[in-house]
Amino acid sequence: MKWSHVALNCRDLAATEEFYTRWFGFKRARFFDLGDTSIVFLKSGEVYLELFGGAAVDAAGAPTLVERDGPDHVGTVRHLAFQVDDVDALLRQMGDDAQVNLGPIDFDSFIPGWRSAWLTDPDGVVVEVSQGYRDEL
């Protein structure tokens, strides 16, 4: 078995695509125009994000305020996570695009050099950026 993708509902498909291509190195792999609905597949290495826009998304509901490291209720994705070389450098580079919810926080007591921050994408999905995580030997 091989991991396939994560699908995200987008208020503004173009803004969400720009966020993940600009800041996390994704490239457009495929686009489907289905009339009142559009679907974009973004790819980075072997990882895909599938973005849904238009009529495929219920935009009527008001966005929820997301704090900390993401929603904590069952049945909801808590956050997406990306490993970066330097959390602080990325946040500086992102400027106002980095809507930080939490951190950066050091987790040196668990793994020396482990540092993370959590921010939101244009649709309110929490995205963790982390440096220094390593598996246990």
Q: How far is CA 104 from CA 13, 41, 77, 82, in A?
A: 28, 30, 21, 14
Assess whether 17 and 72 both reside in one domain: no
- pTM of the predicted structure, to 2 decimals: 0.83
pLDDT level of residue 9 (50, 70, 90 thresholds): confident
Assess whether 86 and 113 both reside in one domain: yes
Residue 137 covered by a domain:
no
Residue 12 covered by a domain:
yes
Q: Is the pLDDT of residue 83 over 50?
A: yes
Residue 122 covered by a domain:
yes
Span 41-50, pLDDT tens digits: 999 999 999 9
Assess whether 72 and 125 both reside in one domain: yes
Let me know: does 66 contact 124? Beta carbons within 8 Å. Answer: yes
Assess whether 14 and 35 both reside in one domain: yes
Let me know: does 107 contact 134? Beta carbons within 8 Å. Answer: no
Span 99-132, pLDDT tens digits: 999 999 999 999 999 999 999 999 889 999 999 9
Domain CATH code at residue 116: 3.10.180.10
Q: Which domain holds residue 127?
A: 65-132
